[in-house]
Amino acid sequence: MSKETLESLLERLQTTKSVEELQVWTHELRDYFGVSHVFYHTATLKGEQVGAFTYSLEWVRRYIERDYRSIDPVVLGAMRRFHPMDWKACDWSSPAARKFMREALEAGVGNQGWAVPIWGPNGEFALFSLNDKCDDETWEAFTRQNAKNALLVSHLVHQQVMRIVHNELDPPSAELSPREREALAQLSVGLSRANVADSLNISENTLRAYIDSARHKLGAANVTHAVALALAKGIIVPTGTLPKY
């Protein structure tokens, strides 16, 4: 991806006003890096656990319910470090850690990871991680190319979370974001999801996240209902310079 694309992505980060909006944004960040998953989490911010991720909800629920944080080698390793680390540098030697990794792989977590520990001035700790399924050589090349950008993004994400949690932003509104409006507008003229995703330069999984967010804000039962409501409310107009296929 180009530098301009990253800059545009970081500009959209600044428009997020809730953890829920940040959650949707992480899907686009995943597309930018071209990895399987992106994960951000803090457990020491106002005593709360704040997370934004692309993992499945089923895996996240299991992780929380079984208190995997207490045995997760990535979390335990990051809490003893101040610099980015490869997941392979963590201690996976215990039976509990190996069992945890087997379950994670079965849940769709990749075998490779790059983690950035984030320490704040008030003692808060957060963890940002990129995760993918690939061989060691491919992953080494990826981290060489993207480590600096991952470090930059991790701290900007944390700063935005701090602003959200400490109410230093305007409260979130029910208005659709520009990306949500673009997605519904293009769907309203009959473009397929694949074509809309290609037009917006995002994956279909990320497009689904934006559509689901728009549907939730509009109180729509399904995508067709969301498009109809957006048209009826004048939120989108099915005209303009849409791409032709």
In whole angstroms, give the CA distance from residue 182 to residue 161: 25
Amino acid residing at 81: R
What pTM was estimated for this model as a whole? Answer: 0.77
The whole-number pLDDT of residue 11 equals 86
In whole angstroms, give the CA distance from residue 101 to residue 114: 15
- Mark residue 18 as left, alpha or beta (left: phi above 0; alpha: psi -120 to 50; beta: remaining): beta
By C-alpha distance, which of 24, 203, 36 is closest to 113?
Answer: 36
Amino acid residing at 202: I
The whole-number pLDDT of residue 173 equals 61
What would the two tokens of residue 228 be?
A: 């109809």
What domains lie within the chain, and their CATH numbers?
3-165 (3.30.450.80), 178-232 (1.10.10.10)
The whole-number pLDDT of residue 176 equals 85
The whole-number pLDDT of residue 20 equals 87
b/e burial code for range 143-169 (CB count within 10 A of at least 16 → b): beebeeebbebbeebbebbbebbeeee
Q: List, in sequence order, the alpha helices (H) in 34-170.
A: 57-65, 73-78, 95-106, 136-165
Residues forming a β-bridge with 126: 42, 118
Mean pLDDT by 10 residues, the chain (245 residues): 72 87 92 95 69 93 92 94 95 96 96 94 87 97 95 93 82 76 90 90 88 86 86 76 42
Neighbours of 207 (CB within 10 A): 24
Residues 6+ apart with CB under 8 A from 214: 176, 180, 181, 183, 184, 220, 226, 230
b/e burial code for range 88-118 (CB count within 10 A of at least 16 → b): eebeeeeeebeebbeebeeeebbbbbbbbbb
